Amino acid sequence: MSIFVDETTKVVIQGVSPTSQGLYHGLRNRAYGTQVVAGTNPKRGGEEIEGIPVFATVAEAVEATGANASFISVPPPFAADAVLEAAAAGVPFVVCITEGIPAQDEALAYNRLVRDFPGTRLLGPNCPGIISPGKCNIGITSGDIALAGGPVGIVSRSGTLTYQALHELSQQGIGQTTCVGIGGDPVPGTSFIDCLRAFEDDPDTRAVMMIGEIGGSAEEEAAEFIAASMTKPIVSYIAGVTAPPGRKMGHAGAIISGSKGTAQAKMQALAEAGVTVAQNPTEAGEAMVDVVRKLG
């Protein structure tokens, strides 16, 4: 199985045009085998672009095609409204890869989702998206580095380290059930805990790789959940061991404030929860190889 998406997922690309990033990545997703069934553009409703029917609104696209997932890569000023439009149209899963959305817009959109649209899950923003190898790919992750049919679920705040984790496991012949990039912004729509819970409930996921980074408390919160609720083995890597306090490193959320959010604190919390904590990405891959071999 997989979590959140599978071969039945039908995707609508919001903000599609002949030159848009949404179209570029959406066509790559379609070439992978993802069901890209519609696009939206209020100025191009009724047109067809690269074989994709375009509708003026998400609601029209959902009614006509049965789309149950949305892919958003529109510019930052419009991204929050795009998310809420998808939710209002009843789309249950929204992937937003847009980077640079104002934090206030992120917080307002997230709280609107929680309050008014509890049936919609947002992945992102500022994330690489999600891939269920061999079934569905929404976002910018290359399908070439993923391997279907394996026992490992991956969840990561870092896009680049998501790709490395996929590649290293695939090189060892270890496939993945689903790989979820949750993004590193301060207000993510989907958390480590959301993914860990879904992986725990997925019978085909037998082990989990969790990749975190400095800043915030998401990893410590995940450690508490792991200690209380996870039965499957977990391997983790936390990026940013040498990061100086007070300096933003990469993602907007990757900043250490005082003694909080350090890599060392996160690594200690995870280790105390029974997680195998690696010192670098390659070591994390090697540790997961050992875990899978023990699982048989």
Q: What is the pLDDT of residues 174-194, one digit of tens each?
A: 999 999 999 989 899 999 999
In the residue annotation, 25 being an active-site residue is answered as no
Q: Distance between CA 56 and CA 47 in Å, rounded?
A: 10
Measure CA 207 to chain center: 18
pLDDT in tens, 196-211: 999 999 999 999 999 9
The answer, yes or no, to whether residue 257 has pLDDT greater than 90, is: no
Q: Which residue has the tokens 């410590």?
A: 220
Per-residue pLDDT, averaged over 131-156, amounts to: 97
Q: Which residue has the tokens 């848009």?
A: 20
The answer, yes or no, to whether residue 121 has pLDDT greater than 60, is: yes
C-alpha pair distances (Å), 265 with each of 95, 209, 282: 30, 19, 21
Q: Which of 30, 206, 251, 266 is catalytic?
A: 251
Confidence label for 250 from pLDDT (cuts 50, 70 and 90): low
Q: What is the DSSP letter of 252?
A: T
248's tokens? 């933003």
Measure CA 84 to chain center: 18
The answer, yes or no, to whether residue 51 has pLDDT greater than 70, is: yes
Buried b vs exposed e over 152-186: b needs ≥16 C-beta within 10 Å?
bbbbbbbbebbbbbbbbbbebebbbbbbbbbbbbb
C-alpha pair distances (Å), 46 with each of 10, 40, 54, 68, 71: 19, 10, 6, 20, 19
pLDDT in tens, 11-44: 999 999 999 999 999 999 999 999 999 999 999 9
Q: Domains (ranges, CATH) in the chain?
A: 10-123 (3.40.50.720), 142-295 (3.40.50.261)
Q: Distance between CA 249 and CA 266 in Å, rounded?
A: 16
Partners of residue 49 on adjacent β-strands: 52
The answer, yes or no, to whether residue 165 has pLDDT greater than 70, is: yes
Whole-structure pTM value: 0.94
Q: Which residue has the tokens 């696209």?
A: 61
Considering only CA atoms, which of 184, 180, 185 is closest in space to residue 238? 184
pLDDT, position 209: 98
Looking at beta carbons, which pairs linking 111-114 to residues 24 or more positions away fall under 8 Å? 112/84, 112/87, 113/83, 113/84, 113/87, 113/189
The answer, yes or no, to whether residue 263 has pLDDT greater than 70, is: yes
Q: For residue 276, what are the contacts with CB-CB under 8 A and spacing of at least 6?
A: 233, 234, 235, 236, 287, 291
Peptide bond into 125 cis (omega under 30): yes
Q: In angstroms, how far is the first alpha carbon of the chain from the final one?
A: 19
The answer, yes or no, to whether residue 254 has pLDDT greater than 50, is: no
Looking at the chain, the whole-number percentage of residues with pLDDT higher than 90 is 86
Confidence label for 251 from pLDDT (cuts 50, 70 and 90): low
